[in-house]
Amino acid sequence: MSTSQLPDPPELLRQQLRGVRGLLLDLDGVSVLKGRPIPGAIEAIAELDRRAIPYRIVTNTSLVSRRTLSRQGASIGLHIPPERITSALSASAAWTRRTYPGQPLFVITSADGRTEFEGQHLIDAAEADAPGARAAAVVIGDSADELTYPNLNRAFRLVLGGARLVGMHRNPWWLTPAGPTLDSGAFVRGLEYATEQRALIVGKPARTFFVEAASELLGEIAAREDRSARPSRRDLAMVGDDVWTDVLAGQRAGLRGIFVLTGKHGPAELDRAAARRRGGGRPDAIAASLAQVVAALD
Ligand SMILES: [Mg+2]
């Protein structure tokens, strides 16, 4: 396959998607871009609802809670209920709830993002600054207002004091109306460098993130289909605009990986991924947009 002829022609796309019974969809670069819906995305998601094809939005977008994401989507015509969203933020909250129940956590996130951690023991700046302060984990998320030097320094000290370093994701940058914008992954890397500890990453490209979202989807499919045709992860496709964290990572979790051309990566990144010997590879299919993916489902 040459990336000079993109996207895959409709008939080929249809073949590559044959048997797909559910979709994991990235948000940024697939459904929305720079705060606006991507052309055809609203209709494509409505079509999934109409055809009762189950889907989950799986996103590293972690500036706000799922409830707020859902509301923001609705305000631009994209109707996705919060329970159809798994974000790196919500997955991080679920992970700390399971792993460190009742234990102190230092979480860098927005005020709205903190609502995902409801009922958990989050320590504030003053508690983190107290002599001998301890936390079970520090969680680095997205928030332009909270990713400050003082908060990062608190995180640094708590990790030196024994806290587990957790990153909601490791994305280095993303596209906003102002252009390429620094993302929290860059700060996670900085803390790894300073603490000489490797962060546990909860969101994409972590395998468990895909596996958990996929098993929700498979449960939904199995609940309404007959048992003879039990679906597997190969019957699901991850649709993303990031060749590494969506497409190849989804494939490593056993899903089909579909690349769309509406986001941040293009032919150059596909070529880089195809050429890289370790951790590289090619998408199962390349589509112009989410609308094309949905139109090709049989
Ligand atoms: Mg994306």
Q: Where are the domains of the chain?
A: 10-60+205-295, 89-201
pTM strictly above 0.85: yes
Residue 208 Cα, ligand 1 centroid: separation in angstroms?
Answer: 18
Determine the Cα angle at 67 with ends 64 and 69, to 5°: 50
CA distances, 247 to each of 25, 71, 191, 250, 252 (Å): 11, 27, 27, 5, 9
Which residues face 138 on adjacent strands?
106, 165
Amino acid 177: pLDDT: 86
Amino acid 207: pLDDT: 95
Whole-number Å distance between alpha carbons of 28 and 37: 9
Ranges under pLDDT 70 in the chain: 1-4, 226-228
**Average pLDDT taken over every residue of the chain:** 94
Q: Using one digit for the tens of pLDDT, what is the confidence trace for 35-70?
A: 899 999 999 999 999 999 999 999 998 899 999 999
Residue 159 Cα, ligand 1 centroid: separation in angstroms?
Answer: 30
Residue 217 Cα, ligand 1 centroid: separation in angstroms?
Answer: 20
Residue 171 Cα, ligand 1 centroid: separation in angstroms?
Answer: 10
What superfamily would CATH give domain 89-201? HAD superfamily/HAD-like (3.40.50.1000)
Amino acid 19: pLDDT: 94
Amino acid 227: pLDDT: 62
* Residues, Cβ < 5 Å to ion ligand 1: 26, 28-29, 241-242
Interior/surface letters 257-271, b for 16+ CB within 10 angstroms, e for the rest: bbbbbbbbbeeebbe
Amino acid 34: pLDDT: 87
User: Regarding beta strands 36-37 and 32-33, do their DSSP bridges make them parallel or antiparallel, or are they unpaired?
Assistant: antiparallel
Amino acid 244: pLDDT: 94
What superfamily would CATH give domain 10-60+205-295? HAD superfamily/HAD-like (3.40.50.1000)
Amino acid 176: pLDDT: 85
In the chain, the percentage of residues whose pLDDT exceeds 90 is 87
Amino acid 35: pLDDT: 87
Residue 186 Cα, ligand 1 centroid: separation in angstroms?
Answer: 16
Contact 16, 8 (CB under 8 A): yes
